[in-house]
Amino acid sequence: MSETIRIIQPTVSNFQIAEGSRTRDLISRLTKLDSDERDNLINETTEILSQCVNPVNTIGSTTGIAIGYVQSGKTMSFTTLTALALDNGFRIVIYFAGIKVNLLEQTTKRLKKDLHTDGDNARFFKVYQSPSVIDNVHGKIQSALRLNHKPAILITVLKHYKHIEELTKIFKTAEVSEELGNNGVLIIDDEADQASLNTYARKNSKTEDWEDDEFSSTYSSILNLRASLSNHSYIQYTATPQGPLLINIMDLLSPKFHVVLTPGKSYTGGKTFFEDNTDLIITIPDTEVYHHKHNQLAECPQSLIDALQLFLMGVAITVNIEGKENFLSMMIHADREQDASKQFYDWVKKLIGVWAERLNLTDTDPSKIELVKEFKENYIEAVRRIDNPPSFDLVIQEVLQAILDTNMELVIQGSREIDWSNASSHILVGADMLNRGYTVEGLSVSYMPRYSIGKSNADTIQQRCRFFGYKLNYLESCRVFLPNDSIIEYREYVEHEEIMRTMLKENTLAQLEQLLVLSSAMNPTRNNILSSELIKQKMNGWRQLNALQHIQENYSFVSEFLNSQSFKNFKDYRTNDRNHRYVKLEIRKVIEFLKDFKIANMPDALRKSSTIQYLRYLADNKGIKEAYVFEMSFGVAEGRNRSLIDDKGNLKINNIFSGPDPKGFEVYPGDKGIKFEDSLCIQIHKIRIKGDTLSVKWGGQVLYTLGIYYPEDFAHSFVGIKK
């Protein structure tokens, strides 16, 4: 299917941010935050909004990324961003709310709850979940935009191409497009590293050039939605930004600015569990680590029994005796296969059923005595971190009450929504449905016997950390059961995450040049969104750029650059057309030259940004500090004549490189022979466009464009990340 993607240049914000009534109303209800936390929330959302496009009658777009920790309050941040955006001229906010219906509904309900859209604020908000043209939502939006009291239009949509395409149809209708005009839309992409990115990136890296690239359906649908909006700001929210930061910097979803979010004071994340309180991590023995192919367990593992008993005693103490929480939860995440979840669910359900019966027996019954003894052995671990703990006799009495008030849930596709307030104890068993984006309220004990083969993806293992969150109030009752290999992976990831966050706080994205520090045992993200063979295929040998835009700017810039250099002549080939000169420059200066040379077409923009990455890589990893810049045919003042060709509907310069000539006084190797074999070389070509039928409006124009040589010795090893 043919698609047209319109590129809108990013626009620097030029509007003042004011904290209005909707923001103040929201902040006033965030009573769990102290004044410092509220100030951080306002300051960080203001920083995000200030870099967005002015929402009032402006043409432009931008992309930013907000980086938090897992379970650290990203939803609160983008809800506050919503309120602040509405106070400052935005009328429409779109939310990409996950790839599963339960996450879509979770986000919609959270927005309605936090913004009081079903209460006092109902008049000021119009909320649409998965809107469609058939339901005349475009007509409703048109009417809402015309209302004098200017209600906000909030649209939550599943991150799936069919739903996003339907939303695009709505914005393309005359009713919405004409009423909206050039006024701003804010797009918030929750869990932005999931589904949004182009899953064909790796495949595309194996094609000869960027013109042949393909796009995955969800990625394409997002680009098409953005192309339908003349004024929009696209904000990615994620705790695992490896994907968005590693995709090519000229990708339309690559962020142009970032904000690192500060968690609340009671947040307990990776550092809490894997650096500061490592005693909260309990190792699952290798023999009890589950894998649906390599280690199917025949019976309930002892480590799961211990975890369950610790959880029930935690509920007895934290909820029933001390009254610090209204309920606690346990999560069991065994394997991605549903059969595994069902097996673990059956084991736990049977266990707590039997335990309830045995604890209800008389104190002299041998079966009860044996079970009480088992609990007592785990009691020492349960109260190890509690000052002045309650006695075991009191705890075991309340364990029975905790069991009787336990809600068990098998969380798989189609499972019901959990009523957290309806029980003091919840046990959730599941796999991918308990993965990224899903909030397990009151989670205290996590049991994750999942077995990995080969390298894990850094962003994937982090997104399984549902046990992170705001748990400081009951941290002494928290335990995380993991295989030893997983513990090592998490510790490495936490180190990586802290380095990454420090780098992000101290540098702009342009300064970072998309280089992440990772353990060699871990992949940064899933392979299909990255182009690990980018250099091997598309950056090997000679390539030409087609700089048919920004002609005058580039002409002035290149002329000034050439006049500032001290060139040496290459070999004398006796004619002005074949005589060239060169200068050897530091990598830094070559990068500066490329950054200032303007490119507007997408394939060449991709090449330019990737070449900058490549140069950084050569300098940092190969010890190569210099590259060569050639001025081709410097004696031909008017430029060499070239015609344009039509390549799949796009005008291109027909081969900037002159071919070889074996005749004459000196054999000419062709322009592609003008290079130093072991170095990156950039040729500057001065071109005069021939005035033929295809190039009527271009005829006689003189421009500068580039040819770039990527030496084969280096090409195979560059993958876009720092090793």
Task: Tell me the average pLDDT across 633-655.
Answer: 86
List the one residue out of 117, 119, 192 whose CA is nearest residue 153.
Answer: 117
Q: How far from chain centre, in Å, is Cα 593?
A: 30
Q: Choose the weakest-confidence range: 90-94, 282-286, 595-599.
A: 595-599
CB atoms within 10 A of CB 636: 16
pLDDT of 485 above 50 = yes
Question: Domain extents for the chain?
Answer: 21-260, 267-503, 534-715
What is the predicted pLDDT for the residue at 12? 46
pLDDT of 78 above 60 = yes
> Does domain 21-260 correspond to CATH entry 3.30.1490.20?
no
Task: Tell me the average pLDDT across 430-441.
Answer: 69
List the one residue out of 305, 287, 304 whose CA is nearest residue 296.
Answer: 287
How much is the pTM? 0.65
Q: How far is CA 577 from CA 544, 638, 677, in A?
A: 18, 11, 22
Q: What are phi and psi of 621, to 5 degrees?
A: -115, -20
Q: Which residue has the higher pLDDT, 73 or 78?
A: 78
Per cent of the chain over pLDDT 90 is 43
Q: Choose the weakest-confidence range: 412-426, 469-483, 554-568.
A: 412-426
Euclidean distance between CA atoms 91 and 71, whole angstroms: 28
> Would you call 722 helix, strand, or coil by DSSP?
strand
Euclidean distance between CA atoms 601 and 551, whole angstroms: 13
Average pLDDT of the chain is 81
Structure tokens at 713: 């010795």
Q: How confident is the model at residue 103 (pLDDT cuts 50, 70, 90)?
A: confident
Query: How many alpha carbons lie under 13 Å from residue 497 in its C-beta half-sphere?
Result: 25
pLDDT of 515 above 50 = no
What is the predicted pLDDT for the residue at 704? 95
The alpha carbons of the chain give a radius of gyration, in whole angstroms, of: 30
User: Phi-psi region for residue 87, left (φ > 0), alpha (ψ -120 to 50) or beta?
Assistant: alpha
Q: Give all strands (DSSP E) within 595-711, no chain letters.
A: 626-631, 640-642, 644-647, 650-653, 681-689, 702-710
Q: Which residue has the higher pLDDT, 99 or 326?
A: 326
Q: Which residue has the higher pLDDT, 452 or 247?
A: 452
What is the predicted pLDDT for the residue at 517? 39
Task: Tell me the average pLDDT across 493-504.
Answer: 75
> Would you call 334 helix, strand, or coil by DSSP?
coil
Question: What digits encode the pLDDT tens for the residues 25-41?
Answer: 999 988 888 899 999 99
- Three-class SS string for 347-406? HHHHHHHHHHHHHCCCCCCHHHHHHHHHHHHHHHHHCCCCCCCCCHHHHHHHHHHHHHCE
Q: What are phi and psi of 455, to 5 degrees?
A: -70, 140
pLDDT of 329 above 90 = yes
pLDDT of 433 above 50 = yes
What is the predicted pLDDT for the residue at 674? 95
pLDDT of 84 above 90 = yes
